[in-house]
Amino acid sequence: MRGGVRPRRSVRFAAVATAALVAGALPGTNSAASGGRGELSLAYACQFASGEQDVTIAFTQRFPQTATAGKPIQPGDLAMAVTIPRAGVTAMLPAATASVSAESDLTAHITQGSSDADADWSGLTAPETSLAGTDDVVLTLTGKAPAVTVTASGDVAFSVGVLTLTLHPRAAAAGTPTTPAPGPTTARAAGTATAAATDTNATTADGTTANGTASDGTTADGTTASGAAAAGDVTGTCTPEPGQDAVLATVHVPGPTGTTLPGHSAAAGPVAGRGGRSTGHASGADGTASGSSGPSAAAGRAGGTIVPLDQPVHSGVSTCGKTPIAPLDPRRLPPVSDTGIVVPMPGQPAFPPGPMCGFAVGFSNVNKLNGAMIINDPHAKPVLAEVNSGQRKVLDYSKQYVEVDSIIDLRLPPSASTFLTFGFMPTTADVEFIPRGVFTVVQTGDDFFGEPILTTIGGYQDIRIHNVRINGTPLDVGPDCHTAKPLDIVLHGRKDSGLPDDDGKPDYFIDAGGPLTDEDLVIPPFTGCASHGENLDALFTAALSGPGNSLNISQGPLCDPINVPESCLPEIPIPQLPQRKKS
């Protein structure tokens, strides 16, 4: 990538940039808790008058595991431990400061599906903290958080954002010995102090005059000419450093996706009431930004921030297509114990087809590129997954073991992706997913026996890249730029609600749907990628291939046209995109 003939170097540079667009072949994992105790530590950059100061903030807060649409979700008290390096404290505060207290206003982001709103969690305070010693200073701010109400089912994510931090320095009382302050140090990006050499009233960069008196009338020991303690608050705006997952917790709101409460418009934008403000990100049914008037606004003033769910996407489909007929992949099947019984038994006729179908949508990301892409976009004619359920059962009564095996035909449509590669270069391409046979579904466990129901869905697909453009200029990658071997995809789901080891996360069950994840998807090397005779395989492989990628899918409930025909009517629902988890 460094050096080389200039024209060829530009071609290679463009090719690597193009590779970033496949950040969806394959969002990242979310480190936040699902309800319960939310704990999160983030790096922040704070802009103070003395310059930019790096701080670390640890958040702790309790959340309910689940909530009900239309009823307030009340987070617990927030504790926010702000760690400021000693050098930064020295730079920001007067030299004679013996202790400091603090207060802060935090902006919280509340997200449900593609609806979101900001809430002001203000009035966080920290008691007076001594500055004795030389260690970094930790200020623990605490306070109440307002309630949040959502108007429909779907996971609600609570994220932390920008905050203002105000420090209240306090000098030691007269006659009280203090620890001498370290020598002059500035925060990052702060200028160095320079003394005024000629004018005794000239002000130096550290805010004092040449005679040792500060420009606000205080002397170098932090007192005024009359001996009173100096008063001068220090306020800064703190922003999370980029590339961090700021989700503190997620609260599950169960119920049929897309249902709304009477008096609430599903298409209304986010409305903030007491303690919140609207971001205006959501759109009305006509595609224009919604206002904050009407029933939603009134409810917001009464109960905190309201986040209405977007207008549900209608599939217009009420029946399944062709039922897949194919053998189960023996490589995906667990071994059968000596006491296990396989049904149908050898020599018996196969079970009749069990046609079912449903929609599965989601995100994928590439670890190297830190970018995401929608899979089976719900707003762009998503494709049904066709299921042939219950093709084989394995029973072992001595071990209370139950296994049900099925197959799924998942033919995803091509995805058009746009990425800012290298943070500035717009890159677009079409990413095509080519199935290598059907997926095998293995479901084990039975809640009747007090066991979680575990589901794995495994299969193979190729990735092909074409129609590549760099900043609008076409880049020829050839007609057959694809992975050298198929991706080995293994999606995992779990249902354990009501069991002692319930992890509190949303359940997955093949009939009812839910979240599916592959947290370690390996992207194989690329082949067939060429541009005007130049082999670009190595560049795409270097930019994309490797482990640590993830795939997050949300499956909707399945239509069962034979046994439960009403499950298909009036239409088969399209689920919401899963809440991102960070790349």
Q: Which residue has the tokens 């449900």?
A: 112
Q: Does one domain contain both 512 and 560?
A: yes
Whether residue 156 contacts residue 248, with contact meaning beta carbons closer than 8 Å, is answered with no
**Is the pLDDT reported for residue 320 higher than 70?**
yes
User: 71 in a domain, yes or no?
Assistant: yes
Confidence grade of residue 40 (pLDDT, cut at 50, 70, 90): very high
Residue 492 lies inside a defined structural domain of this protein: yes
Whether 126 has a pLDDT exceeding 90, the answer reads yes
Do both 527 and 409 map to the same domain? yes
Q: Are residues 220 and 322 in the same domain?
A: no
At residue 427 the predicted structure's pLDDT band, cuts being 50, 70 and 90, is: low
Q: Is 301 among the domain residues?
A: no
- Tell whether 392 and 506 lie within a shared domain: yes
Same domain, residue pair 328 and 201 = no
- Please tell me whether residue 392 adopts helix, strand or coil conformation: strand
Query: Can you give the pLDDT at residue 178?
Result: 42
Whether 425 and 333 share a structural domain? yes
Domain carrying residue 87: 36-107+116-147+159-249
Output the pLDDT for position 356: 97
Report, as an integer, the average pLDDT of 500-511.
84
| Token representation of residue 216 | 């606000």
Residue 379 sits in the same domain as residue 240: no
What is the C-alpha separation between 123 and 146, in angstroms, rounded?
11
Indicate whether 348 and 462 sit together in one domain.
yes
Q: Is the pLDDT of residue 224 over 80?
A: no
Identify whether 217 is part of a domain: yes
High-pLDDT (> 70) share of the chain, % = 70
17 pLDDT more than 70: no
* 487 strand-pairing partners: 461
Range of weakest confidence among 93-97, 186-190, 356-360, 369-373? 186-190
Q: What is the mean pLDDT of residues 514-534?
A: 91
Binned at pLDDT 50, 70 and 90, residue 151 comes out as confident
Does residue 305 form part of some domain?
no
Range name among 294-303, 364-373, 467-476, 555-564 with the lowest pLDDT average: 294-303
Domain shared by 504 and 558, yes or no? yes
Q: Are residues 332 and 244 in the same domain?
A: no
Residue 281 CB burial class (10 angstroms; 0-12, 13-18, ≥19): middle
Q: How confident is the model at residue 286 (pLDDT cuts 50, 70, 90)?
A: very low
Instruction: Tell me, yes or no, whether 367 and 218 share the same domain.
Output: no
Rounded to an integer, the average pLDDT of 113-137 is: 88
Cα dihedral value 199, 205, 211, 214, nearest 10: 120
What pLDDT band is residue 450 in, cutting at 50, 70 and 90? confident
By three-state DSSP, how is residue 424 classified?
Answer: coil
Residues 363 and 456 placed together within one structural domain of the fold:
yes
pLDDT tens column, 93-106: 988 899 999 999 99
* The pTM of the whole model exceeds 0.75: no
Q: If you average pLDDT over every residue of the chain, what do you get? A: 75
Task: Please state, in angstroms and rounded to a whole number, the distance separating the CA atoms of residues 386 and 319.
Answer: 11
Better-scored residue on pLDDT, 398 or 501? 398
Summarize the confidence of residues 528-552 as an average pLDDT.
Answer: 86
Tell me the C-alpha distance between 269 and 260, whole Å.
13
Domain end point (choices 214, 249, 284):
249
